A and B are shown apart, each in its own frame.
Chain A
Amino acid sequence: MASTPLVLLPGLMCDRAVWGEMLPALGGENDIDIAAYGEIDSLGGMAERVLDFAPARFAVAGHSMGGRVALEIFRRAPERVTGLALLDTNYLPRPAGEAGAREERERMELLALARRAGTRLMAERWVQGMVHPARLGDRVLVDAILDMFARKSADTFEAQIKALLDRPDAAPLLPRIACPALVLCGREDSWAPLARHEAMAAAIPGARLAVIDECGHMAPLERPEAVAGAFRQWLAAVDSAPVRPAAAARAGAL
């Protein structure tokens, strides 16, 4: 039996390189597509772009902002999703009041920095809180992240910031997720903390929570082998899950 197709969704300013380290360890049995969002400035728009190009039925894994896109895909076409993996991500909308305003201010400061001095130097600042502190001196890792940002323009950054600031509340979706679900996070992810992933895993029926030790927010790049191990388990569950006839029929009608 052929393995399920897999669609991978990178996060803010990231691209296929964020998944590149872990793919060899995945075993190579799945057809893999890695999404790109162009200059789309909403999470729903990104989800629709992926749905336009994705196979009829597919497992989807999203990292950070990509996790939110994965949830928006599920919101729009649950019958096409055979499995859902949410990595270093979040499901809540932007908080009201001062916390939300502060988030907007901080994001706009980074945008101004990107416009002033370029996306790579902006990323030098951004990356400081994004990988495990012990890895900040690992130039191979840090440069891989900076290079992803350098491949994007400040306009792309602005579009994705807008998408994140306008993010919808995905909490109501979580109890409706019936496919095999993986919730994964670096233990030291200071951006999307472990507690948030524990809550997410608790709200999704049957979800498995994988915590990667000595790892920050950029889990697929920081600990590719550990993340690939969790993916292999998840994909095995996806492949052995019964195909619900109703869902298959709806997907076939597309």
Chain B
Amino acid sequence: MPGQPHGRIIGGLGSPHAPSIGAAYHAGKHETPSWKPLFDGYKPMQAWLEQKKPDLIIVVANDHANTFFFDRYPTFALSVAAEHEIADEGWGKWPLAPIPGNPEFAWQLAHSLVDQEFDIAVCQEMPLDHGFLTPLSCFFPPERRWAVPVLPVCVNVLQPPIPSAKRCFELGRAIRRAVEAYPRKLDVVIAGTGGLSHQLSGERYGFNDTAWDSEFLDLIETDPERIARMTHQEFMTKGGADSVEEIMWLVMRGALSPKVRRVHRNYYLPMVTGFAQVIFEDLGDAAVARKAA
């Protein structure tokens, strides 16, 4: 109902979530020659978030067997917790305070997703590992850390069967419908996380394809449905086995208007993984309506 306050997606972020980034960040290596090109890519994101002042960030990432184990691994999961503990990944917890959530909206999202036939696992607690901690650490300067509540969404990209790219894109669209139906002001930013081309095991260890990474960044912006039609095998062939996690960027993109305004794009390949950062601004329902018409 137009005119009434309601939730809206104001933009999407893309970010890697490699643990090495978070470790370097917390070790104060922002300005070293090898890390500076990456960390400089977060500065426009910090400025954009500071300017847009979202009420909530939905972060789409995968757990790395710190919260979920392979005896019971959900395809999709979200957290309704009021606060998220820092997971101990085996080298001690990162020295960070717990991360606030927004249980009230998270429950609404859970209900709405199930009503939309996304039978997502609902978690009352969800310790967060580097999948979330790396991007969240970098999105805000230390003095603004955890200033915005976070709603974590986990996607299984580790243990087959993993969901299709199309299913991830559709999850994003369902999240958008739920946010827009929320009858109070709620400005939401959604972040999709994961590295671009990389393969960390097997014969093709160390595989990268910067041309494909560049094409991926073009397509996720202008023609995400084409990426949503790709099979896992195509992702692996083009970008290495571990690049399948790019499907988590599709959740972010599915939640945005069909056309978006790109205000930031950065790419850096320091070692074995293509790291990319983007900011897409949402163009609102008018863009959706034009598409539908």
What 0/1 readout, one digit per residue, does chain A (47-91) give for beta carbons within 8 Å of chain B? Answer: 000000000000000000000000000000000000000000000
Residues on B with C-beta less than 8 A from A117 are: 112, 115-116, 177-178, 180-181
Complexed CA–CA distance, A119 and B183 (Å): 13
Is residue B23 contacting chain A, with contact meaning CB distance below 8 A?
no
Interface assignment of B114: CB less than 8 Å from any CB of chain A: yes
B201 at the interface (CB under 8 A from A): no
Q: Which residues from B are CB-within-8-Å of A122?
A: 181
Chain A count of residues within 8 A CB distance of the other chain = 15
Is the beta-carbon distance between B104 and A116 smaller than 8 angstroms? no
B199-238 CB contacts (< 8 Å) to partner A: none
Q: Which of A96-152 contact B (CB under 8 A)?
A: 109, 113, 116-122, 124-125, 128, 139, 150
Which of B104, B177, B182, B183 counts the most chain A CB atoms within 10 A? B183
A118 to B115, CA, bound (A): 5
- Interface size bracket, B side: 10 to 19
CA distance A125 to B184 in the complex (A): 9
Q: Are B181 and A113 in contact (CB under 8 A)?
A: yes
Q: What is the CA–CA distance of A123 and B178 in the complex, to the nearest angstrom? A: 12
Question: B163-185 toward A: CB 8 Å interface, digit per residue (1/0)?
Answer: 00000000000000110111110
Contact pick for A121, options B1, B4, B181, CB 8 Å: B181
- A120, B115: Cβ atoms closer than 8 Å: yes
> What is the CA–CA distance of A128 and B181 in the complex, to the nearest angstrom?
13
Task: Using CB atoms and an 8 Å cutoff, list the residues of chain B in contact with chain A.
Answer: 1, 4, 104, 108, 111-116, 177-178, 180-184
Q: Residues of A with Cβ closer than 8 Å to B?
A: 109, 113, 116-122, 124-125, 128, 139, 150, 154
List 12 A–B pairs whose Cβ atoms lie within 8 Å, in order of A's numbering.
A116-B177, A117-B177, A117-B178, A118-B111, A118-B116, A121-B111, A121-B181, A124-B183, A125-B1, A128-B183, A150-B111, A150-B115
